[in-house]
Structure 1
Amino acid sequence: MGVRRSELVGLFLGFLYLSVTPPSSARFVVEKNSLRVTSPDKIKGTYDSAIGNFGIPQYGGSMAGAVLYPKENQKGCKEFSEFSISFQSKPGALPTFVLVDRGDCFFALKVWNAQKAGASAVLVADNMEEALITMDSPEEDGSSAKYIENITIPSALIEKSFGETLKKAISGGDMVNVNLDWREAVPHPDDRVEYELWTNSNDECGVKCDMLMEFVKNFKGAAQILEKGSYTQFTPHYITWYCPQAFTLSKQCKSQCINHGRYCAPDPEQDFSTGFEGKDVVLENLRQLCVFRVANETNKPWIWWDYVTDFQIRCPMKEKKYNKECADGVIKSLGLDAKKIEKCMGDADADSENPVLKEEQNAQVGKGSRGDVTILPTLVVNNRQYRGKLEKGAVLKAICSGFEETTEPAVCLSGDVETNECLDNNGGCWHDKKANVTACKDTFRGRVCECPLVDGVQFKGDGYTTCEASGPGRCKINNGGCWNESRDGHLYSACLDFGNSKCQCPPGFKGDGIKTCEDIDECKEKKACQCPECSCKNTWGSYECTCSGDLLYIKDHDTCISKRAAETKSAWAAVWIILIGLAMIGLGSYLIYKYRLRRYMDSEIRAIMAQYMPLDSQAEIPNHMNEDRA
């Protein structure tokens, strides 16, 4: 059954693909660059080459090199190291351009193998006489994902006859020097560049979807600078298919299409029985188109880049968040008018044309020098399809090559692109007006929404809709987002720095602690003041108890006592204090009296004894009786 389901999906996708435009009117234009042979003289001249749709072409510039045709591994399908072949050029020598033959493996693999061996560019010689085609990277291949995004050298397809000419000259011993020139690959008529990106909101389509999402995220900052300065005019586009009339009532068509089969997208998982459906992708594509239109009406078309990058981060298919509810959250965070966007999208169930998607299908058809858009993703610069890797630096070069000489903006003349996106509506990130705190951080690649660290307090959350202070000190920042209120000089807060609960109403209050804390009527709920003589009065955050008559309330015992008893007790206490004081004074006086009396008696006794028995420490007292006898 699995084989049959995959066959059915493939058959249905085939119908969708063939239904883009009638085969007779489909027109694919191959973007070319100039290849000029400078030596040997016998093959000098200018030839066409088709730019490869991977790697990094040098838009607006040129590159000179010497062509080498390997004697082994001439199709480049194996690593050249297996044959001990290196294309690394010696100091002072021209870079090496490797010539390989078409066939047996992917174009991108040939270029990758040559790059690893040291090549600076790759020329692929066609193996049949035909008009030049565009070398594209594989649609879906697990092994190719490992190298496609790492290819950084340019490549080009050349005609079979020209390839044979180069091989003959090389085998004859001639040094073949060529110059690859991309200076005229993009028209540059004036001082403004018009460019458009044909994209898709599906994030589960494999390698190309991953590369596209990475590019949009990386290029956003540069794109917004160019747009805000009116240097460029950017327009996003989305490819849709329509279901053939014979299949409009089928289950497959109904699950992949809106407006009765008029606008369809392939099933993201290529399985009609599980996951998201093609119509989910069509609706999100339509929503992103309307986001651009509504933003453009307010003269801020660059908000499209914010919406797309935020939607990729917040609403991925893998997490089952690819839906309207998640999209509405992104729209709200960016301050866009959701009602206008809904009106722009129209009725997906109506059996009628959708004006927005109808314009997209018409724009998909090539006009003038631009061919039909059939490759996703595709970048178009000044009506010329960009070829090469969707990489910030490479795309910026291509856009800058679209300006008339001397009219390039400063961003094209410097290696730095910087803007502070947080100054406008906090970049659509979470912010707290009261605390003046935002989750928006400006970087070289554009703003990111990341909960901040403020005064040592770390905020935690998704950065887009919520950020909460966490850990010690959190109550210093706007009371930690908890309830707080002040009345009559009393301030109460529900914020707790520690413990499992972050917000808890303080004693005397009840509520969630975040938005509300209501005063508790302790007189009713806590059964305060229960003594018979007590009277309870509720206050904000507390209560007051009084006693009737001349009774006095004792809170510790929740009881009332007589004021007279209290006064009597107080009076007796005072009397006892006085008596004890007098007793202590009397005792002290008696002790002093005894001490002084003792000292006086000791001094008298010493004086009497000194008259009859002089002490060793005193001089001898004269004998008056002997003096009288003489």
Structure 2
Amino acid sequence: MRGRVGFLVCIWVLLWGSCFGRFVVEKNSLKVTSPESIKGVYECAIGNFGVPQYGGSLVGTVVYPKANQGGCKSFDDFDISYKSKSGSLPVFLLVDRGDCFFTLKAWNAQKAGAAAILVADSKVEPLITMDTPEEEKGDADYVDKITIPSALVSRSLGDSIKKALSAEEMVNMNLDWREALPHPDERVEYEFWTNSNDECGPKCDSQIEFVKNFKGAAQILEQKEYTQFTPHYITWYCPEAFALSKQCKSQCINHGRYCAPDPEQDFTRGYDGKDVVIQNLRQACFFKVANESGKPWLWWDYVTDFAIRCPMKDEKYNKECAEHVIKSLGVDLKKIDQCIGDPEADVDNQVLKAEQDAQIGKGSRGDVTILPTLVINNRQYRGKLDRGAVLKAICSGFQETTEPPICLSEDVETNECLENNGGCWQDKVSNITACRDTFRGRVCECPMVDGVKFFGDGYTHCEASAALRCEVHNGGCWKKTQEGRTYSACIDDNSKGCKCPPGFKGDGVNCEDVDECKEKLACQCPACKCKNTWGSYECSCNGGLLYMHEHDTCISKDTNTEVSWGFVWVIILGLAAAGAAGYAIYKYRIRRYMDSEIRAIMAQYMPLDNQPNNVVHAEI
């Protein structure tokens, strides 16, 4: 009986932190945009299930059901659907608190087509965090399937919304998670409070699955120093008066200083709580040693591989199996053993002591009392432990425009562009769109395609830069290759639109060949023959005549030859005559020049007939 009492007291101490610790309710903003009577900004508490839209917002219209107002039954039983129709706002379903688990209300709302669920509190009190049910009290099969966001609103706001709806007023609101997590700089710090126990039911299964799925993204973020990650492990202490009891000895190490619950909650079989504490310590020490060596991301490999290779169900949850995994990852085993120390010693273990100190909330972060818990930028994450949802939350912790590339990848895309193209511009012919999904929501931004930038407002129009518009899907114009020739309706200059090239007709988006022969557009002379080709035509003449395209006429090949040779002879004779005349003139001018020179020389030595005889010579 005394042992039983000791066990109960120990359990009470383990739960004390959860009952009396400083638990912080994480909130997001709720903005009512209509009607005017309740218009304003309110706080609501984020549920610890579903997928909150961290970094983004969601607009919808509120509906309060006339039947099944608590949401505890399937709305199919009442033939009610809340799936939004094309062109209408998404539905936020308001239900009353009580009578069933919060998660069941959310699941029924999601199945009915609601985009989000609002739970109106049943009494006037500070907001609380809606959590998942304890494993032994609720069917957890549907919990992991909940994807819509959830929020608890105060009783006064719930009553105001109901009053407005009863007066047939439309209540529109915006759920805003953009400031749910702080984003002070270009680096995100996050912690993952976890446990090596793999025999705690669906929660353990989902935690192991999350680590395996999130490993790749976490390692990319850590290797490129976008984030600083730290794993943590929750332990409790056993009261000193019961440190030597059978219950504390089976659950604790270091004389009751660090304890964990029995995995099977049965002291007579399987592994004990102290086995869990030792493995938690080994994982914490693995991270410490890997971090000191500059490779903290190896923790994700170790935890994943250990869960696969050393499960409790195969009775491999032990030191030997763990060391095989550590060796395969190349981490110093001796340093890890030194970090673990002696679990039987009556001394503090510095690693686990630091973990217990870290459980206590500091600043805006409350105490860590729930496993698993993710803390991002010193705020506790609320929602489903899902790869996409967690990555989206981490990405929202970066300052806008400083997000790493993985935050803009398909991993965090939503389906906002799938429906009505997100309200953005789209060229349906070339399938180019201005809608781009990010973790912060869709953005209407003219794209860049194949190196060509489109310009415009992104909503009503986008145009490729003029000189390069034909480079992208031919500017959305018609283009075709046939018979070894290619024709295009896109004009690669500053023009806009499409125009069928000569030889074709149509609107530029669709063009077809013009039959010039059939439409009497070519080869119209009496002796002409016309043959249509794709994009053009060919003309020829009957009877061996030659076709002259410039004059659209046929002429004789012989006549053409005679005329040509006669013309050549005329040119030759003309050139010969010109040469002879030139030579004669040249000879005549030379002769005249020579005669004048000779006469001048002779005149110096003898008088000529026409000169006088009394010429006086000057003395030299």
TM tier, shorter chain? 0.5 to 0.7
2:365 counterpart letter in structure 1: R
Does 2:89 match 1:89? no
Label 1:102 to 1:11 Cα distance change in 2 as closer, same or farther (>3 A).
farther
Aligned to 2:398: 403
Q: What is the distance in 1 between the residues matched to 2:269 and 2:136?
A: 22
Aligned to 1:16: 14
The percent of aligned pairs where both chains have the same amino acid is: 71
Aligned to 1:51: 46
**1:279-428 maps to which residues of 2 (within 5 A)?**
279-416=274-411
Q: What is the distance in 2 between the residues matched to 1:340 and 1:65?
A: 55
Which string of whole-angstrom CA distances, capped at 9 and with x for unpartnered residues, describes residues 474-518 of structure 1? xxxxxxxxxxxxxxxxxxxxxxxxxxxxxxxxxxxxxxxxxxxxx
1:384 counterpart letter in structure 2: R
1:91 counterpart letter in structure 2: S
Q: What is the distance in 2 between the residues matched to 1:269 and 1:7?
A: 20
Q: TM-score, normalised by structure 2?
A: 0.65
Q: What is the distance in 2 between the residues matched to 1:11 and 1:134?
A: 27
Aligned to 1:256: 251
Q: What is the distance in 1 between the residues matched to 2:327 and 2:163?
A: 65
Query: Do the aligned partners of 2:58 and 2:176 also contact (CA within 8 Å) in 1?
Result: yes
Shift of 1:89: 1.0
Shift of 1:6: 9.7
Query: Do the aligned partners of 1:6 and 1:271 also contact (CA within 8 Å) in 2?
Result: no
Q: What is the distance in 1 between the residues matched to 2:410 and 2:5?
A: 49
Aligned to 2:93: 98
Shift of 1:61: 0.1
3-state SS of 1:196 partner: strand
Query: Do the aligned partners of 1:9 and 1:271 also contact (CA within 8 Å) in 2?
Result: no
Q: What is the distance in 1 between the residues matched to 2:68 and 2:238?
A: 45
Q: What is the distance in 2 between the residues matched to 1:93 and 1:416?
A: 27
Q: What is the distance in 1 between the residues matched to 2:134 and 2:323?
A: 32
Aligned to 1:204: 199
Shift of 1:8: 8.0
Aligned to 1:72: 67
Shift of 1:200: 0.4
Which string of whole-angstrom CA distances, capped at 9 and with x for unpartnered residues, describes residues 270-314 of structure 1? 111111000000000000000000100110000000000000000
Shift of 1:172: 1.0
2:24 counterpart letter in structure 1: V
1:77 counterpart letter in structure 2: C
Which string of whole-angstrom CA distances, capped at 9 and with x for unpartnered residues, describes residues 424-466 of structure 1? xxxxxxxxxxxxxxxxxxxxxxxxxxxxxxxxxxxxxxxxxxx
Shift of 1:208: 1.1
3-state SS of 2:29 partner: strand
3-state SS of 2:375 partner: strand
Q: What is the distance in 2 between the residues matched to 1:226 and 1:346?
A: 32
Shift of 1:139: 2.3
Q: TM-score, normalised by structure 1?
A: 0.64
Label 1:10 to 1:85 Cα distance change in 2 as closer, same or farther (>3 A).
farther
Shift of 1:22: 9.7
Calculate the aligned-residue CA RMSD, in Å: 1.8
Shift of 1:16: 1.7
Q: What is the distance in 1 between the residues matched to 2:294 and 2:215?
A: 17
**1:135-146 maps to which residues of 2 (within 5 A)?**
135-141=130-136, 144-146=139-141
Query: Do the aligned partners of 2:18 and 2:369 also contact (CA within 8 Å) in 1?
Result: no
Label 1:7 to 1:154 Cα distance change in 2 as closer, same or farther (>3 A).
farther
Aligned residues: 412
Shift of 1:17: 1.8
Which string of whole-angstrom CA distances, capped at 9 and with x for unpartnered residues, describes residues 175-225 of structure 1? 100100000001001000000000000011112111111110000000000
Aligned to 2:606: none
Which string of whole-angstrom CA distances, capped at 9 and with x for unpartnered residues, describes residues 340-360 of structure 1? 000001111111111000000
Q: What is the distance in 1 between the residues matched to 2:362 and 2:221?
A: 25
Shift of 1:44: 0.3
1:364 counterpart letter in structure 2: Q
Q: What is the distance in 2 between the residues matched to 1:52 and 1:297?
A: 37
3-state SS of 1:149 partner: helix
Shift of 1:138: 1.2
Residue ranges of structure 1 left out of the alignment (5+ in a row): 418-630
3-state SS of 1:110 partner: helix
Shift of 1:260: 0.3
2:323 counterpart letter in structure 1: D
Label 1:9 to 1:247 Cα distance change in 2 as closer, same or farther (>3 A).
closer
Which string of whole-angstrom CA distances, capped at 9 and with x for unpartnered residues, describes residues 122-151 of structure 1? 000111111001001012148522100100
Query: Do the aligned partners of 2:181 and 2:397 also contact (CA within 8 Å) in 1?
Result: yes
Query: Do the aligned partners of 1:64 and 1:178 also contact (CA within 8 Å) in 2?
Result: yes
3-state SS of 1:396 partner: helix
Larger deviation, residues 57-66 vs 137-146: 137-146
Query: Do the aligned partners of 1:205 and 1:268 also contact (CA within 8 Å) in 2?
Result: yes
Residue ranges of structure 2 left out of the alignment (5+ in a row): 413-620
1:291 counterpart letter in structure 2: F
Query: Do the aligned partners of 1:127 and 1:160 also contact (CA within 8 Å) in 2?
Result: yes
Aligned to 2:160: 165
Query: Do the aligned partners of 1:108 and 1:148 also contact (CA within 8 Å) in 2?
Result: yes
Q: What is the distance in 2 between the residues matched to 1:6 and 1:271?
A: 13
Q: What is the distance in 2 between the residues matched to 1:400 and 1:16?
A: 34
Aligned match of 2:34 in 33, 39, 42? 39
Q: What is the distance in 1 between the residues matched to 2:200 and 2:148?
A: 25
Q: What is the distance in 1 between the residues matched to 2:83 and 2:103?
A: 19
2:72 counterpart letter in structure 1: C
Query: Do the aligned partners of 1:67 and 1:176 also contact (CA within 8 Å) in 2?
Result: yes
Q: What is the distance in 1 between the residues matched to 2:349 and 2:292?
A: 20
